[in-house]
Amino acid sequence: MEKDKRADEYITKSADFAKPILIHLRKLIHAACPQVEETIKWGFPHFNYKGMMCSMAAFKNHCAFGFWKAALMKDAGELKENNATAMEHAGKIKSISDLPSDKIIISRINEAMKINDDGIKLPERKVTDKKTEIIVPFSLKKELAKNKKASDTFNNFSPSQKREYIEWIEEAKAEETKNKRILTTIGWLTEGKTKNWKYVKK
pLDDT at 79: 57
Q: 42: Cβ–Cβ under 8 A, 6 or more apart, which residues?
A: 199, 200, 201
The answer to the question of residue 101 being in a domain is yes
Look at residue 106 and tell me whether its pLDDT is greater than 50.
yes
Evaluate if residue 129 carries a pLDDT over 50.
no
pLDDT confidence tier of residue 134, bands split at 50, 70 and 90: confident
Same domain, yes or no, for 145 and 189?
A: yes
* 90/26 same-domain check: yes
Q: Which residue has the higher pLDDT, 74 or 77?
A: 74
Closest residue by Cα to residue 202 from 168, 70, 193: 193
CA distance linking residue 79 with residue 148, whole number of Å: 36
Q: Average pLDDT for residues 133-140, to the nearest whole number? A: 84
Residue 65 inside a domain? The answer is yes
Assign residue 78 the CATH number of its domain: 3.90.1150.200
Domain extent, residue 149, equals 138-199
Q: Are residues 16 and 109 in the same domain?
A: yes
Instruction: Please check whether residue 44 is in contact with residue 65, taking contact to mean a CB–CB distance below 8 angstroms.
Output: no
* Structural domain includes residue 132: no
Question: Do 83 and 149 fall within a single domain?
Answer: no
The reply to whether 147 and 194 lie within a common domain is yes
Number of domains in the chain: 2
Please give the pLDDT value at position 124.
Answer: 74
Residues 17 and 67 in one domain: yes
Q: What is the pLDDT of residue 138?
A: 87
Query: What are the distances in angstroms from CA 18 to CA 10, 65, 169, 175, 191?
Result: 11, 12, 30, 34, 25
Q: Are 92 and 60 in contact (CB under 8 A)?
A: no
What integer pLDDT is reported at residue 40 of this predicted model? 92
Do 149 and 58 fall into the same domain?
Answer: no
Please, what is the average pLDDT of the chain? 87
